[in-house]
Amino acid sequence: MRKPVIAGNWKLFKTSAEAVELVKGILPLVTGATNVEIVVAPVFTVLDRVSSVISGSNVNLSAQDCFWEAEGAFTGEISPKMLLDAGCSHVIIGHSERRQYFGETDETVNKKTKAAVAAGLKVLFCIGETLDERESGSTFDVLKRQIAGGLAGVPESDLCSIIVAYEPVWAIGTGKTASDDQAQEAHAFIRGEIKGLYSAAASDAMRVLYGGSVKPENIAGLISRPDIDGALVGGASLKADSFAALVNAAQK
């Protein structure tokens, strides 16, 4: 059985006081969710404070990105070992907003993924097609390329540190969720790619999350599908009650 994951991507929201208030609101609402890997991903500057609040709880801390070098003359970057030092257990890599606005490529995603896993972080490895790509019928080619490129050189023994997040770009922050069928179809394809690149065992064990306008109203249908193991959530993760509702739906 794959343990479901509900991860909240707070993006560029929440000052430290707001972040502390949010996570303090979430904690008492999710204490019963013993069978869900719960993750919150605030901005870098509040990681340390959120880490103190969640210490000893069932909520895990993630960053939204990291660099591949451990240290050096790389102004503005942050390394996996610094994220561990700030209390992170997870990191999001390759989010479509980073690919779209900050020049992230399959090659940089690959370097970051390998460095983060080597340092001992779990990676929320994001992939997904744009609207143009879906409409031109190239969704599966894009996913295939992103998986092969992003995971190049990652040995099967490291896959336990990787969680795939399938996020169709056209569904992120738009209120347009992929239908349960569209999401399941993409997830099954992704699982098939992992099987082809690695093994049936690796593919069976891999958690594949859906992301893109997930909310309490649509989580049940998504998570009931055989290849959907949880969600990476933006907007609905910014309020304690809606995030907790997603966690508790995944627990069922």
Footprint of ligand PGA on residues 141-170 (CB under 6 A)? 167
Query: Around Cβ 241, how many Cβ atoms within 10 Å?
Result: 11
Tokens in use for 76? 């503005």
By CB under 6 A, name the one of 211, 228, 243, 247 that touches ligand PGA.
211
**Can 95 be counted among the known catalytic residues?**
yes
Q: Which residue type, as a one-letter code, is found at position 165? A: A
Q: Say if residues 10 and 42 touch (Cβ distance below 8 Å).
A: yes
Closest residue to ligand PGA using C-beta atoms: 234
Options 95, 97, 133, 193, the catalytic residue: 95
The least distance separating ligand PGA from the CB of residue 97, rounded to whole angstroms, comes to 7
Which residues neighbour 33 within 8 Å (Cβ) at sequence distance 6 or greater? 58, 247, 248, 250, 251
List the interface residues with ligand PGA, window 219-238 (CB under 6 A).
232-236
Other beta carbons less than 10 A from residue 148's beta carbon: 14
Helices (H), the chain: 16-26, 47-54, 80-85, 96-101, 106-119, 131-135, 139-150, 180-197, 200-205, 219-223, 240-251
Whether 167 sits among the annotated catalytic residues: the reply is: yes
User: Using the rule CB under 6 A, is 213 a contact of ligand PGA?
Assistant: yes
Q: How far is the CB of 168 from ligand PGA (least distance, A)?
A: 10
Determine, following the binding rule CB under 6 A, whether residue 9 of this chain makes contact with ligand PGA: yes
Among residues 40 and 232, whose Cβ is nearest to ligand PGA? 232
Positions touching ligand PGA (CB under 6 A) are 9, 167, 172-173, 211-214, 232-236
Residues annotated as catalytic (active site), given as ranges: 95, 167
